[in-house]
Amino acid sequence: MSARRIDWVSAPAGPLRGELRVPGDKSISHRAIMLAALAEGASRIAGFLEGEDTRATARAFAQMGVRIEAPADGERVVHGVGLHGLCAPADAIDCGNAGTAMRLLTGLLCAQRFDSRLTGDASLSRRPMRRVIEPLTRMGAQIDAEPGDVPPLRIHGGRALRGIAYESPVASAQVKSAVLLAGLYADGETSVREPQPTRDYTESMLAAFGWPVTYAPGLARLTGGHRLHATELRVPADFSSAAFFLVAATIVPGSELVLREVGMNPRRTGLLEALRAMGADIRVENPRGAGAFAVADLVVRHAPLAGSDVPAELVPDMIDEFPILFVAAAAAKGMTRIRGAAELRVKESDRIAVMANGLRALGVRVEETPDGASIEGGAIDGGEVDAAGDHRCAMSFAVAGAIARDPVRIRDCANVATSFPGFVELANGCGFALS
């Protein structure tokens, strides 16, 4: 977590207007650095997210001897060292707030010749790692964690890995990716079957770097022993960052925003479906690209929302969008019910509790369940809320402030820099009153 303590005040806003491009996709930026580092040759990445999380990943590979140049903001040239070219890091690798960095690196590092240690901030140090340790151990890895299977992790090198057919009990792209990345080094075939399909970026990006992968929603397979080849890629704008503006323009009367080059992978865009079922007016224009690199421009206009039940099948496709969905629900007429989303309790914060407590402090009726919440829409009052160091909760409360009767004071917002540097400036540029 950032040492700085930042609080925001979000005051009622007028109509939101303009065209914007939110920063690069976090999940793709992490993977771009990782795969480029292990490829042969120099890869060029454009649209890289200059966030604390993705910079932590770049730093990790620099610690392991990979030369990474930053010729301009959002650009990286990664001089890949090949699958077996990483060097032992002299110190522990600090993943900061980034669960994706820690879980994916665990998969990669358990296959190296050297030992390594992964640490994180207070939030990451509470997050469950059993979910990756268990399958990786079955592949032959040796990983020690703190009691309760939380970080820091000590990863023993020099272990020969074997492929497994893994039936994951949890719908998690991080778990799937950790196993697949270990599978690059394993003897034989590694496969992962998921209870519900999750984002397929690791699969499609491995393919972009020339590794043969077979995948369809819910199942991915690869064999060890191939090579990754340097490539050029352009990271789309992050749908999860666009989501704050999609909801803000929907709920602030008179608004119209255009969001450019937004990542449109179907495993990420579940919020569009959920918002449309509530009455949102969002148009998808100029769809282009494919796989991890599918993008479109989104045009969103103010529309009155009605509460609805979010289908449980949609949960993995909008797993990072529940904080902002809570705000859409609070602004809607009637009741919104969320179920089947217990994973929200083990994100950067317990997002069900943080959003329920915050909205209640603003006069909204919210009832928590173990795996979701029921939110009764209506007026949002001003007041004070705690984002609990969670970037997405902080930005969601900022959106709530835009339609509140009085200003909303939001505590503990510094971690917005993990995923969305420049949020305040971009938001104020289109009509927010955020300070």
214: tokens are 């077979």
Task: Confirm or reject binding of residue 174 to ligand S3P (CB under 6 A).
Answer: yes
Q: How far is the CB of 346 from ligand S3P (least distance, A)?
A: 8
> Taking the complex as a whole, how short is the minimal distance between the CB of residue 17 and ligand S3P, in angstroms?
29
* 243 is an interface residue for ligand S3P by CB under 6 A: no
**Which of the stretches 4-12, 113-121, 172-180, 224-232 binds ligand S3P when contact is defined by CB under 6 A?**
172-180
- Complex with ligand S3P: residue 100 or 223, whichever CB lies closer: 100
Find the catalytic residue in 94, 121, 320, 390. Answer: 320
Tell me whether residue 39 or residue 319 sits nearer to ligand S3P (CB atom): 319
Q: How far is the CB of 8 from ligand S3P (least distance, A)?
A: 22
In 10 A of CB 67, how many CB atoms?
Answer: 13
**Coil, helix or strand at residue 283:** strand
How many whole angstroms separate alpha carbon 398 and alpha carbon 433? 9
Binding residue for ligand S3P, selected from 172, 204, 336, 349, defined by CB under 6 A: 172
Binding residues for ligand S3P, rule CB under 6 A, total 10
Quickly tell me which residue has 């950067």 as its tokens: 348
Residue 204 in the binding site for ligand S3P (CB under 6 A): no
Nearest CB to ligand S3P, comparing residues 71 and 370: 370
Clarify whether 320 is annotated catalytic: yes
Q: Which residue, among 141, 181, 191, 190, has the nearest Cα to 161 in the 3D structure?
A: 141
Site map (CB under 6 A) of ligand S3P, residues 21-50, x = contact:
------x-----------------------
In the block, residue with structure tokens 């009085």: 406
CA gap 243, 131 in Å, rounded: 28
Restricted to residues 343-372, the positions that interact with ligand S3P (CB under 6 A) are: 343
Closest by CA position to 249, among listed 7, 68, 15: 15
Dmax (CA) of the chain: 61
Rule CB under 6 A: say whether 319 interacts with ligand S3P: yes
Contact 206, 35 (CB under 8 A): yes
* Binding window for ligand S3P (CB under 6 A); candidates: 166-174, 231-239, 268-276, 368-376: 166-174
Among 132, 173, 298, 393, binds ligand S3P (CB under 6 A): 173
Among the listed residues 29, 97, 177, 415, the single contact to ligand S3P using CB under 6 A: 177
Task: Give 144-199 as a DSSP string.
Answer: EEETTTEEEEEEE-SPPPB--EEE-SS--HHHHHHHHHHHTTSBSEEEEE-SS---
CB closer to ligand S3P, 173 vs 402: 173
Strand 165-167 and strand 189-193: pairing?
A: parallel
In this complex, which beta carbon is closest to ligand S3P, that of residue 10 or of residue 27?
Answer: 27
The owner of tokens 């835009």 is 402
**Which region among 36-44, 169-177, 217-225, 373-381 touches ligand S3P (by CB under 6 A)?**
169-177
Residue 306 CA: distances (Å) to CA of 199, 372, 375, 378: 28, 18, 12, 10
Measured distance between the N- and C-terminal CA atoms of the chain, rounded to whole angstroms: 21
- Tell the smallest beta-carbon distance from residue 238 to ligand S3P (Å): 10
CA distance 92 to 199: 29
Shortest Cβ 198–ligand S3P spacing (Å): 6
Query: By C-beta, is 178 or 295 nearer to ligand S3P?
Result: 178
Q: Which residues are catalytic?
A: 320
Positions touching ligand S3P (CB under 6 A) are: 27, 100, 172-174, 177, 199, 319-320, 343
